[in-house]
Amino acid sequence: MSAATTNPVNQVRSTIYQLLSSLFAKEVDHKTLHELTCTQAQEFWSQLANEPDFKADVDVLVAELAKLNSDKALLELAADYCGLFLVGTKHSASPYASLYLNKSSSDKAATKGNEPLLFGQQHQQMTQFLKQSQLQVQSEFPEPADHLAVILAYVAHISMHSSHQEQLLFIRDYLANWLPKLVAKVAKVDTGKFYIALAQLTLAWVESDIEWLASES
């Protein structure tokens, strides 16, 4: 485990998970936009685009970021974010694992119908994981622990602190098992391009990371 901490590749992986987490956690504002478009960031994006599986989505992201040159453009993107991740309708792609892993309500007609859909089993599991790592969800982020941004941030953390084997198991069992469904839903309902590209990039990255971790461990 301690070997993993000092590994510069793990540091980079952690950074990428952290970046993705941040983009799913909240809307792009002026500050974030600056951080995503500064010279260093451009270098980062072009490095990422070197990977063929990522190139198309990274290109879209970079192009979309370049268009965010007015308050209105930022607001339109914020509205895309809101429609996907905040309003919670059938036409959104709610970012909670529980909504993709629980059986649909019609399958449960026989039960008494008192299993909640949020803050349920997945939230409890994630809370336990965080606790074991001496972590918790920020109070300014009042979301269940099975929010995509929390899970990605947690992977960013374990990338630095856990063995490759442990990382692989966690990603496979708690992220990769529902991420494709979320990404498909984003692709279906997003009215813009940014979040489709971000979601697809996330999926591609997680898949490639799984492959890499599998080969490493």
Partner 1 sequence: MKRRDFLKGLVGTSYVVLSGSSVLAPLNALAASAAKTNEGWLTTGSHFGAFKMKRKNGVIDQVIPFERDKYPTDMINGVKGLVYNPSRVRYPMVRLDFLLKGHKSDTTQRGDFRFVRVTWDKALSLFKDSLDEVQTKYGPSGLHAGQTGWRATGQLHSSTSHMQRAVGMHGNFVKKVGDYSTGAGQTILPYILGSTEVYAQGTSWPLILEHSKTIILWSNDPYKNLQVGWNAETHESYAYLAQLKEKVAKGEIRVISIDPVVTKTQQYLGCEQLYVNPQTDVALMLGIAHEMVAKNLHYTQFIEGYSLGFDKFLPYLQGETDGVEKTPEWAAEITGVSAEIIRDLAKVMTKGRTQMLMGWCIQRQQHGEQPYWMAAVLATMTGQIGLPGGGISYGHHYSSIGVPSSGAAAPGAFPRNLDEDQKPLFDNNDFKGTSSTIPVARWIDAILEPGKTIDSNGSKVTFPDIKMMVFSGNNPWNHHQDRNRMKQAFQKLECVVTIDMNWTATCRFSDIVLPACTTFERNDIDVYGSYANRGVLAMQKMVEPLFDSLSDFEIFTRFARLMGKEKEYTRGMTERDWLNKLYTDCKNANAGKFEMPEFDEFWKEGYVHFGEGKPWTRHAAFREDPEINPLGTPSGLIEIYSRKIAQYQYDDCPGHPTWMEKSERSHGGPGSDKFPVWMQSCHPDKRLHSQMCESEEFRGTYTVKDREPVYLNPEDAKARGINAGDVVRVFNGRGQLLAGAVVSDNFPKGVIRIHEGAWYGPVGEDGSKEGGAEIGALCSYGDPNTLTQDIGTSKLAQACSAYTCLVEFEKYKGKVPAVSSFSGPVEITL
Site for partner 1 in 37-76 (CB under 8 A): 40-41, 43-44, 47-48, 50-51, 54, 72, 75-76
Candidate residues 1, 5, 9, 165; the one interacting with partner 1 per rule CB under 8 A:
9
Give the range of 61-69, 86-94, 160-168, 194-202 binding partner 1 by CB under 8 A.
Answer: 86-94
Which residue type sits at 31?
K
Q: What is the largest CA-CA distance in the chain?
A: 58
Q: Token pair 């490095």 is at which residue?
A: 47
Cβ 53 vs Cβ 40: under 8 Å: no
Give the Cα-Cα-Cα angle 102, 105, 108 (nearest 5 degrees).
90
Question: Shortest gap between Cβ of 2 and partner 1 (angstroms)?
Answer: 19
Q: How many residues bind partner 1 (CB under 8 A)?
A: 93
84 binds partner 1 (CB under 8 A): no
Element (H, E) at 67: helix 52-67
By CB under 8 A, the residues from 181 to 200 that bind partner 1 are 181-182, 184-185, 188-189
By CB under 8 A, the residues from 21 to 40 that bind partner 1 are 21-22, 25-27, 32, 35, 40
Cβ 59 vs Cβ 49: under 8 Å: yes
Q: Encoding tokens for residue 134? A: 């001496």
Q: Please state, in angstroms and rounded to a whole number, the distance separating the CA atoms of residues 7 and 24.
A: 26
By CB under 8 A, the residues from 143 to 172 that bind partner 1 are 143, 147, 149-150, 153-154, 156-157
Q: Please state, in angstroms and rounded to a whole number, the distance separating the CA atoms of residues 54 and 77.
A: 21
Which residue type sits at 187?
A
- What is the CB neighbour count within 10 angstroms for residue 143? 18
Question: Shortest gap between Cβ of 134 and partner 1 (angstroms)?
Answer: 5
177 binds partner 1 (CB under 8 A): no
What is the x/- site pattern for partner 1, positions 97-136, by CB under 8 A?
A: --xx-xxxxx-xx-xxxxxxxxxx--xx--x--xx--xxx
Q: Encoding tokens for residue 58? A: 């990274």
CB nearer to partner 1: pick between 1 and 117: 117
Question: Shortest gap between Cβ of 51 and partner 1 (angstroms)?
Answer: 5
Question: Shortest gap between Cβ of 31 and partner 1 (angstroms)?
Answer: 9
Question: Shortest gap between Cβ of 153 and partner 1 (angstroms)?
Answer: 5
CB nearer to partner 1: pick between 60 and 135: 135
Q: Which long-range contacts (CB under 8 A, 24 or more apart) does 138-142 make?
A: 141/25
